[in-house]
Structure 1
Amino acid sequence: MILRISRLRSLACHKPLHRRRVAVYGLNMSFFDDFPEPPAQPRQPQPIRPGWFGPPSDELPGIAHGGFVHKSARTVIVLKLVEVYSTGCVLDVVWSVLRGNESDQEWREIVEESYNHPRSSLDTRTGLQLGVAMADGRKAVAAVHGPSAFEDTDDFTGPVLTTLGGGGGSNNAEFVQFTGRYWLWPLPVEGDTTLVAQWDALGIPESSLVLPGADLAQALESVRKYWTE
């Protein structure tokens, strides 16, 4: 039996085919060149944010030191520092729980509780309760939204304590720790302000820390504007 093997010329010996570019939309014209430039829009003045809305976006804050709001063998609430702005201040709060003899399920429940997600600005009795007492007797409790959600703010003088974004945390088999940021408006430089915290589910009773007005006033002197006229 005779086997006939076809001699196939290797494709590699051929020169690559020349790919010709066809100008569909015109000579050397890109598809996107056909679209006109949008008309220039006039620059609109930006609305002025109320002071209670949050910290100014164009300031480098001054810093005041914090302290322990609550401290026990297994739970702490700490005010790490205060970012002082011209209109108010940001309270940087940390809470942490050290594991004891809890079962895995009990510890998971503590970790979940420590996330501290309040349901709304009107439901402040979930998780960490945080408030301030001003030197003149006025009080404010931390909320998710500002006062515009439920009242006229034209003549509003505060105080307002608002929950800001940017918090976070971590946990493992031995401890859990989370942080929260709160905007206090207006800046209480006249007299001392008391920061009050309570967390029933974690067994933390009502506890407090005094913020001296003199410390906030000193930090206010360090505030710097991003842009100078």
Structure 2
Amino acid sequence: MSFFDDLPEQPARPRQPQPVQPGWFGPPSDELPGVARVGGFVHKSTRMVVVLKLVEVYSTGCLLDLVWSVRRGDESDQEWREIVEESYNHPRSSIDTRTGLEIGVALADGRKAVAAIHGPSAFEDADDVAGPVLTTLGGGGGSNNSEFAQFTGRYWLWPLPMEDTTLVARWQALGIPESSLVLSGEQLGEALGQVRKYWSD
């Protein structure tokens, strides 16, 4: 007999139905996304870049994967430490989006959205959201040393735009003017065709 054979069984627990998350909340948890290779420079200068690496496309929206990198110039150690601290882009209030890295999208029909930390549920009826919604999903990490600082962030855009969409960035504290990159609606549509569900009914 094994040592573990006579341990008491755990009592059965009733299965709790999981609430259905609205589309603007984030990517579906049961999909393998398609990848749209629409990446490029949102901003590029001799000292700093903001790069869209790739876009993960889901049936309901898309995940924008951004990187920003700053190269040290002739700053003193203290000045460089301040730049690195700013580059972390720590979360701010979702009401005050005009600090740190500002990210937004402009749709072909004239609608636009600016990235915030919280989704619409914090400010309006969660069941009556028309979109577009751009939500900050957090950073994926970063690194820095005495010569450069580089960090990443992810942004969820809902619903999935099927026409050309302009990604807009600005970072006043780091001297980045309003800059933009056009995301191809055709490429987003092609990536949508690559989406696969984890489970089939």
Determine if the TM-score, normalized by the shorter chain, exceeds 0.5: yes
User: Does 2:156 correspond to 1:183?
Assistant: yes
Partner of 2:144: 171
Partner of 2:83: 110
Is the Cα–Cα contact under 8 Å of residues 118 and 144 in structure 1 kept in the other structure? yes
Give the CA RMSD over aligned residues: 1.6
Aligned mate of 1:138, from 106, 111, 125: 111
Letter in 1 for 2:124: E
Partner of 1:123: 96
Aligned mate of 1:213, from 175, 185, 199: 185
Q: Return the offset for 1:206.
A: 0.1
Letter in 2 for 1:194: T
Partner of 1:59: 31
Q: What is the rounded CA distance, in whole Å, between the counterparts of 2:138 and 2:90 in structure 1?
A: 12
Q: What is the rounded CA distance, in whole Å, between the counterparts of 2:51 and 2:98 in structure 1?
A: 20
Is the Cα–Cα contact under 8 Å of residues 106 and 113 in structure 2 kept in the other structure? yes
Of 100-109 and 166-175, more deviation after overlay is shown by 166-175
Give the 3-state SS of the residue equivalent to 2:82 in structure 1. helix
Q: Return the offset for 1:38.
A: 5.2
Partner of 1:74: 47
- By relative contact order (CA 8 Å, sep 6+), the higher-ranking structure is 2
Q: What is the rounded CA distance, in whole Å, between the counterparts of 2:127 and 2:88 in structure 1?
A: 35
Higher strand share: 2
Q: What is the rounded CA distance, in whole Å, between the counterparts of 2:70 and 2:121 in structure 1?
A: 35
Q: What is the rounded CA distance, in whole Å, between the counterparts of 2:109 and 2:199 in structure 1?
A: 34
Which is higher, the Rg of structure 1 or of structure 2?
1
Is the Cα–Cα contact under 8 Å of residues 118 and 126 in structure 1 kept in the other structure? no
Q: What is the rounded CA distance, in whole Å, between the counterparts of 1:38 and 1:222 in structure 2?
A: 42
The sequence identity of aligned pairs, in percent, is 80
Partner of 1:13: none
Give the 3-state SS of the residue equivalent to 1:96 in structure 2. strand
Q: Return the offset for 1:104.
A: 0.5
Structure 1 residues not aligned, in runs of 5+: 1-29
Q: Return the offset for 1:37.
A: 5.1
Per-residue CA deviations over 1:196-227 (Å, capped at 9, x if unaligned) read: 00000110000000001111000000011111
Q: What is the rounded CA distance, in whole Å, between the counterparts of 1:120 and 1:157 in structure 2?
A: 22
Where in structure 2 are the equivalents of 1:15-26 lying within 5 Å? none
Letter in 2 for 1:204: I
Is the Cα–Cα contact under 8 Å of residues 77 and 96 in structure 1 kept in the other structure? yes
Aligned positions, number: 197
Give the 3-state SS of the residue equivalent to 2:84 in structure 1. helix
TM-score, normalization by structure 1? 0.82
Letter in 2 for 1:139: K
Aligned mate of 2:174, from 202, 206, 225: 202
Partner of 2:15: 43
Q: What is the rounded CA distance, in whole Å, between the counterparts of 2:40 and 2:125 in structure 1?
A: 35
Is the Cα–Cα contact under 8 Å of residues 165 and 181 in structure 1 kept in the other structure? yes
